[in-house]
Structures are given as C-alpha cells and as structure tokens.
Structure 1
C-alpha cells in the first residue's frame, strides 16, 4: 500500500508521534503497543501511514487487512485504503465513513456500528472446567470450525499463543474465543464463535469466562473487545459479564477487489 510502512521501519521520532496520538485511548494504545512488540520480534504484519496530525494503523491477518485511523487523517490517505485489494475491515469515525463510503463502490459488503468495550479483571466468576486452552495440535480443528461457521473472521495460527480457548466435544470445538492483540497488562479479545446448533446454551459466556481466567492468571488486568450493533446477543453477553462501552465507531467491510 502506497504510504504505509512497517512499524519496524519507523524512526524513534515517528514512533513517538504515533504514541502521542493513541495515548489515553485504551483500545488504540493497545493496538500500538502490540504493534511495537511485534516489530521488536521482526513481525512486519503491522504498518502505519503517517499524516501531519494523524495516522492510519494497519494490520495484516491471514486473508484480511484491518485499518484504523487515529487523529486527523486527510482525504488522500483515507481514500487510499480501498487500494488494498485484500478483504478489508475499516474502523472509522462517522465523518470518516461518510467521506470514504463513495470510494468503496461495489466492494462494500457490510456497514455496521462498532462498539469498543473494556473490563478490569479484578473479579471474575469461576470458569467452566470444560473450557480449556488450545495449542498447536488443535489448529486444524479450529480452522475447520471457523471455516464452517464464520468464514469471514480473522483467525491466524499465531493467536494460539496469546492465548485461545475452546469447549471441545467429540474432538471438535463447539465454542471458542481468543486474543487478537496483547501488550503488557492489556489484551484485546475476540473471535467468539458458538456452533449454530448449540446456541442458547450459554456456551459463549463459558468461553468468555474461561478466557478471562487464563488472561488474569497470566498477569492481564484489563480486557478489551470490539463487537457490532448487528450482534445484540453478543453485546448482552459482554455487558452481563461486566464489560462497559468505551467508544463507538463505524465498521465498513469490503470484499476483495
């Protein structure tokens, strides 16, 4: 993508500029800290487009690019995002969505309200013992699970290290969820999925509680997550579990070019 540079290639001054843009925002600060950690490990999947008074944070998942503008981002930078031919997930302010929407043309697959939530992990319910941490041996069953029931999700093998948990019955997952980004004492969680045939049994809540328990045991003090207005059932699960809303944005999902 023109103008985007891997975080690993940014100078100290440029990194400080981005850090100043995200300070105080729990989700975007986590995105940035996780990008710095990835760059230190020679992971070049995180990138940044620098603007005079803003930036666009980018991350390449398996089969999907996600972009999040922070600060003041000009039209040229914003309108360059659909030049990425991969499937896209764009996290925008309402004004940015209004400016970008006409450039999406027939690639726009979905527009939805995006909700960012946060929860401190000082007090947690007892996790269901059936929910357990997944490892490399479960990678292929998890891939099949997501491909069958949620093919549009962002699932990558490295997520198993962050960690990832599931309820497994008869050697196949029936509910799962994990961490999308982690830095210091904060973790961004997501990818929650329940087998459609098993919905209504409370499995999503069990997976959420199990994941939070694993994270707290590993020193995480704050969990963050993003969900959508079109998924009110998930919003209810998170709010019942003690998550509070910290910001709303607009999510535009674009088909591959």
Structure 2
C-alpha cells in the first residue's frame, strides 16, 4: 500500500508521534503497543501511514487486512485504502465513514456499528475446567472449526501464543476464543465462536471466562474487546461478564477487488 511502512521501519520520532495520537484511546493504544512489540520481534505484519496530524494503523491477518485511521486524515490518504485489493476491515469515525463510503462501490460487503469494551481482571468467576488452552497440535482442528462456521474470521496461527482457548468435545472444538493483541498488562480478546448447533447453551460465556482466567494468571490486568451492533447477543454476553463500553466506531467490510 502506497504511503504505508512497516512499524519496524519508523524512526523514534515517528513512533513517538503515533504514541501521542493513540494516547487517549485505550484500544488503539494497545494496538500500537502490540505493534511495537511485534516490530521488536522482526514481525512486519503491522504498518502505519503517517499524516501531518494523524496516522492510519494497519495489520495483516490470514486473508484479511484491518486499517484504523486515528486523528486528522486527509481525503487522499483515506481514499487510498480502497486501492488495497485484499479483503479489508476498516474501523472509522462516522465522519471518515461518510467520506469513504462512496469510494467503496460494490466492494462494500457490510456496514456496522463497532463497539469497544474494557474490563479490569481483578474479580473473575472460577473458570470452567472444560475450557483449556490450545497449542500448536490444535491448530488444524481450530482452522477447520473457523473455516466451517466463521470463514470471515481473522484467526491466525500466531494467536495461539497470546493465548487461545477452546472447549473440545469428541476431539473437535465446539466453542473457542482468544487474544488477538497483547502488550504488557493489557490484552485484546476476540474471535469468539460457538458451533451454531450448540448456541444457547452458555458456551460463549464459559470460553470468555476461561480465557480471562488464563490472561490474569499471565499478568494481564485489563481486557479489551470489539463487537458489533449487529450482534446484540454477543454484546449481552460481554456486558454480563463485566465489560463496559469505552468507544464506538463504524466498521466497513470490503470484499477483495
């Protein structure tokens, strides 16, 4: 993408500028901290396009790229996102969505409200012993599970280390979820999926509780997550689990060109 550079290639001054821009946003501050950690480990999947008074953060997953503009973004930079031919997920302010929507054309697959939540991990229920941490040996069963029931997911192999948990019955996952970004004492959780045939049994809440317990045991004190207006059932699960709304955005999903 024109104008984007791997976070690993940014100067100290450029990194400080981005840090100041995300400072007032708990979720985006975590995105940025995780990007710096990844850059230190020579990971080049995180990128940024710096603007005079803003930045667009990018991250590549398996089969999907996500862009998050923060601060003042000029039209040329915003519209350049549609030049990326890959499937995209754009996390925008209402004003940015209004400016970008006409340029999406027939690539616009979905528009939804995006909700960001946060929860301190100082008081958690006892985790379900059936919810266990996944490792490399479970990668392919998890891939099959997500491909079968949630092909648009951002699941990637590196998430297993962040960590990732599941309830497995008869050798196959029936519910799963994990961290998708992590830095210091904060973690972003997501990718929660329940086998459609098993919905309504409370499996999502069990997986969420199990994941939060693993994260707290590893020193995480605050969990963050994102969900959508079109998924009110998930919003209710998270709110019952103690998550509070901290920010809202507009999500535009673009098909591959």
TM-score under structure 2 length normalisation: 1.00
Partners in 1 of 2:205 and 2:235 — Cα distance? Answer: 11
Alignment partner, residue 251 of structure 1: 251
Alignment partner, residue 224 of structure 2: 224
Q: Deviations over 1:93-137 (max 9, x none)?
A: 000000000000000000000000000000000111000000000
Unaligned ranges ≥5, structure 1: none
Deviation at 1:24, TM superposition (A): 2.6
SS in 1 for 2:42: coil
Map 1:122-161 to 2 at 5 A.
Answer: 122-161=122-161
Alignment partner, residue 18 of structure 1: 18
Deviation at 1:174, TM superposition (A): 0.0
Q: Deviations over 1:165-189 (max 9, x none)?
A: 0000000000000010000000000
Deviation at 1:83, TM superposition (A): 0.8
Alignment partner, residue 198 of structure 2: 198
Alignment partner, residue 240 of structure 1: 240
Map 1:90-105 to 2 at 5 A.
Answer: 90-105=90-105
Aligned residues: 257
Deviation at 1:25, TM superposition (A): 1.3
Partners in 2 of 1:111 and 1:140 — Cα distance? Answer: 31
Partners in 2 of 1:24 and 1:143 — Cα distance? Answer: 35
Alignment partner, residue 67 of structure 1: 67
SS in 2 for 1:104: helix
Q: Deviations over 1:44-101 (max 9, x none)?
A: 0000000000000000001000000001111000000011111000000000000000
Partners in 2 of 1:195 and 1:37 — Cα distance? Answer: 33
Stretches (4+) displaced over 2 A? none
Partners in 1 of 2:66 and 2:92 — Cα distance? Answer: 11
Unaligned ranges ≥5, structure 2: none
SS in 1 for 2:104: helix
What is the root-mean-square deviation in Å for CA atoms of aligned residues?
Answer: 0.4
